[in-house]
Structure 1
Amino acid sequence: MKRLQHGLTALMLLVSANLMAADFKFGYVNTERIYREAAPAQAIQKKLEREFADRRNELKKMEARARDLEAQLGRANLPAADRKKAEREMAGLDRDYRAKAREFSEDFNQRRNEEFAAVQERANRLLRQIAEKEQYDLILQDAVYVNPKYDLTPKVLKELEK
């Protein structure tokens, strides 16, 4: 008797799921693709590159100086006084580089997040408009796999271009 009840319950769930699925419309948007391909996102990337170019160049110069010091320290015929001086400079340079690189990374990520928040907000607003206009019940932004026929990313990219 219990087997029959479980079987009927499973059958009822299957039938009700199929009936609900007939009226259910959903879509998907790839947020990373929006951040990569949308014109406003590309403009933000260029803006950030310009804004942080000086600091990035300073870090590259520090890297080049560290390579020079490393090569200098690698020479066997370096006098002890010069070796000691180069080692002190290398230690200081390493400390400064790590601090500046960490600060650069934190500042860049903060600015990137600030700028991309506006793109995300605009994309979400467009998604809500698409959902209302085309009567979507659910739109997902992150998923492991979605069939391309449900992908709304091209529509959002097209709207962001306007």
Structure 2
Amino acid sequence: MNRKSGLLSALALVVALLVSMPAVMANEARVAFVNINFIMEHSPQAEAALEALEREFSPRDAELVAERDALRQMQERLERDADVMGSEQRAELERTFRNRSREFKRAQDMFSEDLNVRRNEELGRLQRLVQNVILELAQEERYDVVVTERNVLFASERINITERVLEKLREQQRSAR
């Protein structure tokens, strides 16, 4: 019996240690939360990337808008003047309209594809930058775990480092100028 009670006491001690271990570890662990979506929307680098894309693609967009308007006018003319045009003139205008419409559609598709590729490049670059800043801040401030908004139902402001990450990004943007 003595041996059995000693074994039970040792087992009880191990269970008690295992049960209390998460509480001890939780007191020592430093956890932080970062809202990456907020950072991606509000960082100066995100704004700069959007402005760069706008500058790069606005001339092509303006050309597409002008061509779309010209095609609309051509279609209106076809509908309005079809009865008074000669058959050859109407056939030529319809052929021109079809060809330009096809070219317009092709140019629109190329524009969308090019814009998506560039947007994804800028987004990837920005994601890498944000991740690096988060890692840098986590190491500087000795966090054990940094979680993002994905699958987090609640994070108190006490552990939210989103603004500090955003401030570091702002500092980097200022020093890059």
State the identity %.
30
> How does the TM-score come out when normalised to structure 1?
0.72
**Could you tell me how far apart the structure 1 residues matched to 2:93 and 2:21 are?**
73
1:59-74 equivalent positions in 2, closer than 5 A: 59-74=64-79
CA contact (8 A) 1:30 1:141 kept: yes
Q: Tell me, which stretches of 5 or more residues in structure 1 are unaligned?
A: 1-11
**Could you tell me how far apart the structure 2 residues matched to 1:39 and 1:92 are?**
43
Map of 1:54 onto structure 2:
59
Aligned residues, how many?
151
Map of 1:112 onto structure 2:
119
**Could you tell me how far apart the structure 2 residues matched to 1:148 and 1:98 are?**
50
CA contact (8 A) 1:28 1:146 kept: no
1:143 is paired with a residue whose SS is coil
Map of 2:166 onto structure 1:
157
- RMSD of the TM alignment (CA)? 3.0
Question: In the alignment, residue 118 of structure 2 is paired with which amino acid?
Answer: R
1:4-153 equivalent positions in 2, closer than 5 A: 19=23, 21-75=26-80, 77-79=83-85, 80-143=87-150, 145-147=153-155, 149=157, 150-153=159-162
**Could you tell me how far apart the structure 1 residues matched to 2:32 and 2:155 are?**
10
Moved over 4 A (4+): 15-18, 20-25
Larger-gyration structure (1/2): 2
User: Structure 1 pair 34/98, CA: closer, same or farther in 2 (3 Å)?
Assistant: farther
Question: In the alignment, residue 137 of structure 2 is paired with which amino acid?
Answer: I
**Could you tell me how far apart the structure 2 residues matched to 1:98 and 1:152 are?**
46
**Could you tell me how far apart the structure 1 residues matched to 2:108 and 2:148 are?**
32
> How does the TM-score come out when normalised to structure 2?
0.67
User: Structure 1 pair 26/85, CA: closer, same or farther in 2 (3 Å)?
Assistant: farther
- Post-superposition offset of 1:105: 1.6
- Post-superposition offset of 1:160: 0.5
